[in-house]
Structure 1
Amino acid sequence: MSDMNVQQVLAQMRVMEAQAKSQIGPDALSINEVQGAQKTDFSEVLANSINSVNDTVMKSGDMAKAFEKGDSGITMAELMINMEKASVSFQAMTSVRNKLLTAYQEIMNMPV
Structure 2
Amino acid sequence: MRIDGFSGEMRTMMLEASNTATAPSGAKVGADFNDMLTQALNNVNGLQKTSGDLQTRFDRGDADVSLSDVMIARNKSSVAFEATVQIRNKLVDAYKELMNMPV
TM-score, normalised by the number of residues in structure 2: 0.81
Counterpart CA distance in 1 for 2:4 and 2:77 is 17
1:49, distance to aligned residue in structure 2 (A)? 0.3
Q: What is the DSSP-based 3-state SS (H/G/I as helix, E as strand, rest coil) of the residue aligned with 2:52?
A: helix
Higher relative contact order (Cα pairs below 8 Å, separated by 6+ residues): 2
Partner of 1:76: 67
Unaligned runs of 5+ in 2: 23-27
How many residues are aligned here?
A: 97
CA distance change for structure 1 residues 14 and 64 in 2, over 3 Å: closer, same or farther? closer
Counterpart CA distance in 2 for 1:57 and 1:85 is 8
CA distance change for structure 1 residues 88 and 26 in 2, over 3 Å: closer, same or farther? closer
1:24, distance to aligned residue in structure 2 (A)? 2.9
Note the aligned Cα RMSD (angstroms).
Answer: 2.2
Partner of 1:95: 86
Q: What is the DSSP-based 3-state SS (H/G/I as helix, E as strand, rest coil) of the residue aligned with 2:97?
A: helix
1:68, distance to aligned residue in structure 2 (A)? 0.3
Partner of 2:35: 44
Partner of 1:110: 101
1:58, distance to aligned residue in structure 2 (A)? 0.6
1:41, distance to aligned residue in structure 2 (A)? 1.1
TM-score, normalised by the number of residues in structure 1: 0.75
Counterpart CA distance in 2 for 1:88 and 1:47 is 18
CA distance change for structure 1 residues 84 and 65 in 2, over 3 Å: closer, same or farther? same
Q: How does 1:14-53 map to 2 (within 5 A)?
A: 16-32=6-22, 41-53=32-44
1:18, distance to aligned residue in structure 2 (A)? 4.6
1:14, distance to aligned residue in structure 2 (A)? 5.2
